[in-house]
Amino acid sequence: MNKNAFLEELREKLSGLPEEDIEERVAFYREMIEDRMEDGVPEEEAVEGVGTVDSVVEQIMSEIPLSRLVREKVKPKRSLKVWEIVLLILGSPVWVPLLVAAAAVVFAIFIVIWAVVICVYAVDFSLAAGALAGAAGIFIYLKAGNPAGAVFSSGAGLVCAGLAILLFFACAAITKAVAKLTGRMLTKTKTSFVGKEG
């Protein structure tokens, strides 16, 4: 893909953004490609070095705050007529609760996903506490003159310690995956919110 085709496709995929944002981003990537070309890199390789248009759009969307996109999208392109204002007011008992319900569902899904992560960390913490209790139980049983209890307590403590260590690595992987998923969901929300103009 050459520079002009890349920039044209980028401009098209960013068409829902305000015009000054589009111009700023396109100028930035034009300059980046031209700098690479000045360093002796062929045009196609310079464009490939920037990444795909979709990855660039995803990066741009992740940088723009959602509140700014909402503010830009909600701005009317023209002034509303009286009958449109009346319909909005009369319809508000229907559309406002639906909008609030949709936002609540999205927020609830987000909370549930992160609650699962917190629960997994709680289980890991409980296993670590069980390992410490097993270690303490060894001394308690030995002091009470019960060597069988001390052996059982040490075995239970070692099992809890091993499971806590294994679960810690699982917790780290789950947290990373959920954080990545959350970022992608936010980026997809922004991208779908911007959409295409006209």
CB neighbour list of residue 154: distance below 8 Å, 6 or more residues apart: 134, 135, 137, 138
pLDDT, residue 43, reads 87
Q: What is the dihedral of CA 59, 187, 8, 6, to 10 degrees?
A: 40
Residue 1's nearest CA partner among 43, 29, 40 is 43
36-53 pLDDT per residue, tens: 888 888 888 888 888 888
Give backbone dihedrals phi and psi of 134, rounded to 5 degrees, phi first: -65, -40
Q: What is the tens place of the pLDDT at every residue in 80-133?
A: 788 988 988 999 999 899 989 998 998 999 899 999 999 999 999 999 999 999
- Residue 198 confidence class, pLDDT cut points 50, 70, 90: very low
Question: What pLDDT does residue 72 have?
Answer: 67
- CA distance linking residue 167 with residue 107, whole number of Å: 27
pLDDT of residue 188: 80
**Ramachandran region, residue 75 (left: φ > 0; alpha: ψ -120 to 50; beta: rest):** beta
Place of tokens 């999208």: 73
Residue 20 has pLDDT above 90, yes or no: no
- Note the Cα 197 to chain centre separation in Å: 25
Q: How does pLDDT run across 64-75, given as a tens digit for each residue?
A: 777 777 666 666
For residues 8-31, give the mean pLDDT: 85
Using the predicted structure, report yes or no on whether residue 194 has a pLDDT greater than 80. no
pLDDT of 148-159, one tens digit each? 999 999 999 999
